[in-house]
Structure 1
């Protein structure tokens, strides 16, 4: 931790205490429940992909899986770095708006920021226009972790970067095999599997004008 990073953390947490109570309450709610928005978007992406090509379905299925891989990578890195939370380590800082996690729940990188970054990128790969929604949500999630006092700024920046890189790599490596699997599973007769996979794109019906003789 650098002096500049601790100073920025203090500046942000001091600012948080100067905001209205409804802002503080909203930040506490968003920083924990905001990830559910990404879950809902994953479900919507899967539902839409059920009537799309195997390739599109593969990316929609990989999106939450890639995010889960990013989370595991974040946990592994946390265990290796073992950085103490700023709500205990930074002297003279304002009391955190959220409960300070217990010792052993390390700070670097931020799991929430990692998941948010991974989700934002994964959903943008499912549907490019979603980036206009998911990127601001991910940045808001990352900032909220510093705002409520449980992470340093560098924790959330690292989390966003880690989530992005892991997701891009996971989707790139997994798309081809997942596409083949999705195409094969759509031919299965099991009702549950067929419902999960969906019917795929509707067949193109060609209407030809009969030739008069």
Structure 2
């Protein structure tokens, strides 16, 4: 795989130079913004999407299943990253700036292997997992995943095929293991909904919340009948 990227006429290398070339002519502040977005911003954005989706899922009639579907998204991302470890060690593809001259590298110190991109894998796994649970937020998550892939190439730390491979890996894990994950997570969320931490799965009814507050109030003191007399 590493040998495929050595030839400058290879489309993978050509697209790398084309996208990374934007970084050379961009203002310094824009490059710093792209660096932050590619390293941390997309992950933060996905976390915010998950939070909004969770808040809405709690109000659905099938709240335990809906929350279980959302929980699968980050779990799928973690599983995909684990699957990527042997893939990365097997392929052993060097970072593009170690094989090619003239790249504008926005993040220094990347010495691990390039294929498959962890960031692209994580972002797409979350996006696809979120799409399976909530179409609206899932489309936004997939869009963020695509932006993550562009940022990694723009920053000069990945080949285009690194991020395409990450997209494929994240999507495959999120879809292939979803049925098994739902079989395990839905009963867990159902039991959680019936526990004291049930607010994580569905909002507490006003009557139940009021009953809890009343139960926590201290009992009024009883007056001594002799003193009252």
Same-fold call, TM cutoff 0.5: yes
Give the distance between the partners of 2:85 and 2:20, measured in 1 at CA.
25
- For residue 86 of structure 1, report the CA deviation from its aligned partner: 0.6
CA, structure 1 residues 199+132, in 2 after alignment: closer, same or farther (shift >3 Å)?
closer
On the 8 A contact 2:76/2:125 being kept in 1, the answer is yes
Does the aligned pair in 2 maintain the 1:13–1:93 contact within 8 Å? no
Partner of residue 22 from structure 1, selected from 23, 26, 29: 29
Contact 2:73 2:127 in 1 (8 A): no
Report how many aligned residue pairs link the two structures: 196
How far 1:199 sits from its partner (Å)?
A: 4.3
| 8 Å CA contact retained: 2:49, 2:141 | no
2:77 is matched with which residue? 67
1:41 matched residue in structure 2 = 49
Larger Rg: 2
Structure 2 match to 1:96: 105
**Structure 1 outlier segments of 4+, above 4 Å:** 199-202
Are residues 1:195 and 2:208 paired? no
Preserved CA contact (<8 Å) 1:186 1:199: no
Within 1, Cα distance between the matches of 2:127 and 2:66?
17
Q: TM-score, normalised by structure 1?
A: 0.83
Q: Does 1:143 align with 2:155?
A: no
Name the CA shift for 1:99/1:169 in 2 (closer, same or farther; >3 Å): same
The alignment partner of 1:107 has SS state of coil
Segments of structure 1 that go 5 or more residues without pairing to the other structure are 203-213
Residues 70, 200 of structure 1: alpha-carbon distance in 2 compared, 3 angstrom cutoff: farther
- The Cα RMSD (Å) is 2.0
Deviation string, structure 1 residues 43-100 (Cα, Å, up to 9, x no partner): 332333233322212101212111111121122311221111111111x232312214
TM-score w.r.t. the length of structure 2 is 0.78
Out of 111, 115, 122, the position equivalent to 1:108 is 115
